[in-house]
Structure 1
Amino acid sequence: MIKAAFFDIDGTLVSLRTHRIPASAAVALEQMRARGISIIVASGRPRYQLGICSGHGFDAFITLNGQLCYDAAGIYRAAPIDARDARVIVDHVLAGRYDAIALQAQRGFANRESASVRAMCRKVDFEYRADDFGRALDEPVYQFCAFVEPGAERDVLSGTHTLTHTRWTELFCDILPTCGGKAAGVAATLKRMGIDAKEAVAFGDGGNDIDMFDAVGTSVAMGNASDEVKRHADHVAPGVDEDGLYRAALELDLI
């Protein structure tokens, strides 16, 4: 019996075309809650980029790819990037090796408003402004978004010791601690709720959802996911714009 459902946002819960939660997905969320299933956001987005999720009764939020997790009672997992490695990334950016966004608990900002940064803002329907990137060292950073092409992640990680990367778009990769990832957030959330992994389902469409799929008993890739993501999922649903979440929930007897 499923007791908890985890949802990626972009391309899973929210359409990348309309930047909205489809009406059918909202109905599915409501019906799952009515059946006693806890619904949890599991996203690479930070807390201040979750306005789209308000009003749907989510029980917990796994943000920044598992690095900062919270519920109504407060934060229950916080795993910022090691300060020494944060300095390495900041030095890379200040040297002009690549553009990046620093995501902290209360704010996020870019080193400059480049074409890639603007494209990312359009993709997620959220504005990140430029600031002195050295300010990323003023308080903990939970994730960097590095604007490099697929295959160039090793260059971003050069000189660091505790970082890894994940990716859900060709625009940029997410840089986070090796102890992180959505799977770590899922594990912390399930422990907090007293739910076994076999009693959980996860929905996703990006490369950063693959480790989450391995952390639950049932996984669902959206039809708009890449072939690699689909290969790691137990089920493949129609796309987010084809009522995929609702139809998968119906097929899995979640609603």
Structure 2
Amino acid sequence: MSRSIKKLTGLVAATFTPLTAEGEINLSVIGPYIDYLIENQNVKSVFINGTTGEGCSLTVDERKQLAAAWCQHGKGKLEQVIVHVGCMSIKDSQELARHAASIGADGIAVISPSYFKPVNADALRLFIKEVSTFAPDLPMYYYHIPSMTGVAFDAADVLNGIEQVIPSFQGVKYTGTDLRDLGQCVCYSQSHNWSVLFGVDEQLLGALVLGVHGAVGSTYNYLGCIVNKMLAAFDNGNHMQTRVLQVQYIFHPMLHV
């Protein structure tokens, strides 16, 4: 990977996919969506076509259109646009990876296949590698979300030695509640300068204690301002204030609509 890489840190909004009343993607709102994230939530990086964006329910063409719109409207505004390219078909994932590189995305992420599942961590590493070869200059992130994929082996087992087969590998989006496994991922990241991003919004405080570098989540679209205050309090060593803000977040009315 020849280009310099900016480490992915802080809050990353897992974006919603805007749709019309007829169920078609609505690209016209993406520009204002970006402005809202930056100006109202102080969130400057996005993770698109993931679980929140219902990426696996969209066509490949729809995912390409969304990725292109986010990159186009986010240029000069957003710090990083990470495009999720995971599919059940490896060829579709490879095509989405190639497309992400062609439109100037800042990185790609991939989930495990969930119908014909990999039998072990070695098989999953091979799948990720085969996708990464279609965008060799883009940072690659493994998207660990066992509650959706049913692939339950440890993310740390996937990360162990992955740099030897995927030179572009840069980290993991960890959407799980196994803090032991998460802690091992953080340990692996330290010698490689990888990013470990936590994906269970309601449990972020526990992940911060373990040393994660940021978080990717749906609620940062509309509660990012509160969570940014929580991150600042934690970084300043004000753990009591961090706890207060975590509780405010958990009981915020917007989480219980």
Alignment TM-score, normalising by the size of structure 1:
0.32
More helix by share: 2
Q: More relative contact order in 1 or in 2 (CA 8 Å, sep 6+)?
A: 1
More strand by share: 1
